[in-house]
Amino acid sequence: MTALCVAGQAAKNALHWFAAAVLAAAIAAPAVPQAAAQPPDQMIVARLDEATLFKLPDRAATVVIGNPLIADVTIEPGNVAVVTGKGYGVTNVVVMDSSGVVLMEKALVVSSPPGHVVYVYRGVARTTYGCDPDCSVLVNLGDDPEVFAKNLAEIASRTTQAMSAGSNTGAR
């Protein structure tokens, strides 16, 4: 009788472990964004902090980005739109004519820039390094706020100094 109870308990424990493993696998599996189900011709892919071009349909008068925290768009002559990735994620682009008729709607996916990127975790705090060819700290969304703020301040200071130095080189 005791052996039967032990066997039953072992089966129950095995079932709990199996259920836990299935739950962990479901949580760990990457969610497929709705944009991934879109055909490639119905999707615009941009990289964070990079510009991507796409052709606007004739009669385009208004271009709307669903979430301006993810991307920004500017319109150039010749019906060319320039999309700049500003944050990771998926949103959409809607192009309308002057009457409000939708001429085009596409998913817009902003992903990581290509190259050799290394993520260093110290507990939950992350620092991102770009390693092409040497490793340097990058300012990357999701990084440790202290590291992010420090590097952003250094970039702003360097830019200000470069602009100041450039304005002092005028003709005399």
Q: Are residues 150 and 106 in the same domain?
A: no
Q: Are residues 91 and 134 in the same domain?
A: no
Q: Are residues 6 and 48 in the same domain?
A: no
Decide if 71 is inside a domain.
yes
Average pLDDT, rounded, for the chain: 80
Q: Are residues 20 and 6 in the same domain?
A: yes
Q: Are residues 132 and 85 in the same domain?
A: no
Total domains in the fold of the chain: 3
Q: Are residues 40 and 94 in the same domain?
A: yes
Task: For residues 44 and 58, give the distance between their C-alpha atoms in angstroms, rounded to a whole number.
Answer: 18
pTM of the model: 0.59
Q: Are residues 88 and 141 in the same domain?
A: no
pLDDT band at 146 (very low <50, low <70, confident <90, very high): very high
Per-residue pLDDT at 133: 80
pLDDT band at 26 (very low <50, low <70, confident <90, very high): very low
Q: Are residues 103 and 81 in the same domain?
A: yes
Decide if 172 is inside a domain.
no
Q: Are residues 44 and 68 in the same domain?
A: yes
Decide if 22 is inside a domain.
yes
Per-residue pLDDT at 29: 42
pLDDT over 80 at 7, yes or no: no
Q: Are residues 44 and 107 in the same domain?
A: yes
Domain residue limits at 7: 1-30
pLDDT over 50 at 107, yes or no: yes
Asked if 117 and 132 touch (Cβ cutoff 8 Å), the reply is no
**What are the backbone angles phi and psi of residue 150, rounded to the nearest 5°?**
-60, -45
Share of the chain above pLDDT 90, in %: 45
Q: Are residues 93 and 66 in the same domain?
A: yes
Mean pLDDT of 11-25: 51
Name residues whose C-beta falls within 8 Å of residue 56's C-beta, 6 or more positions apart in sequence: 63, 75, 79, 80, 81, 95, 104
Q: Are residues 74 and 38 in the same domain?
A: yes
User: Shortest CA distance to 47 belongs to which of 110, 140, 93?
Assistant: 110
